């Protein structure tokens, strides 16, 4: 009878099979960690919703000067993407673990790309948003490496 000291180590290990399994895991790991799409279908203007709490306190009727000239430049606009509830919960847990000396994640900082894969928008969602912005006449000037904001510019028209 043969006893294993480590239940994860096979008794008749095949090195080539182990290498293939490791390579397969390395290839699949990024796709397993990537965010799922949150935007189903194309973005359309038919379904809009006002965002509350996003108006500057000085943007009041008494300061209204009327419609802006359509050619007025609107530089350096930004769209910040909110994480899902599960992403925010996971992020809160990671931040706590990074500060806990007993945690394996203690001082294990993420690159922007690692952050994007765990907490940012999916590449497909970013693509849908940038396409929609372009269709509205804006010019996308950048996407954060963490995929949590998009910068763009355009005109008031």
The residue-averaged pLDDT of 31-39 equals 71
- Give 103-118 pLDDT, tens digit per residue: 999 999 999 999 999 9
Q: What angle do CA 115, 119, 121 make, to 5 degrees?
A: 105
- With 70 as the cut, is the pLDDT of residue 42 above it? yes
Those residues with Cβ within 8 angstroms of residue 2's Cβ, 6 or more apart along the chain or in another chain? 11
**Domain layout of the chain by residue ranges:** 72-157
Can you give the pLDDT at residue 17? 55
Tokens of residue 17, six digits: 């099979």
Q: What is the mean pLDDT of residues 8-32?
A: 48
pLDDT digits 0-9 by tens, 48-100: 888 888 888 899 999 999 999 999 999 999 999 999 999 999 999 999 999 99
Q: Concatenate the DSSP letters of all residues of 55-78 into one string.
A: S-TT--GGG---SPPTT-EEEEEE
């Amino acid at each position: 009878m043969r006893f294993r000291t480590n239940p994860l180590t096979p008794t008749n290990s095949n090195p080539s099979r182990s290498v293939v399994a490791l390579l397969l895991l390395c290839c699949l790991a990024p796709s397993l960690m990537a965010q799922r799409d949150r935007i189903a279908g194309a973005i359309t203007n038919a379904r809009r919703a006002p965002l509350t709490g996003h108006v500057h306190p000085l943007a009041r009727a008494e300061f209204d000067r009327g419609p802006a000239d359509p050619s007025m430049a609107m530089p350096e606009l930004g769209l910040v993407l909110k994480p899902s509830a599960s992403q925010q919960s996971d992020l809160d847990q990671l931040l706590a673990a990074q500060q806990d000396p007993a945690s394996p994640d203690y001082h294990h900082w993420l690159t922007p790309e690692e952050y994007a894969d765990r907490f940012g928008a999916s590449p497909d969602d970013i693509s849908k948003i940038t396409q929609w912005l372009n269709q509205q006449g804006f010019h996308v000037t950048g996407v954060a490496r963490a995929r949590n904001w998009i910068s763009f510019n355009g005109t008031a028209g």
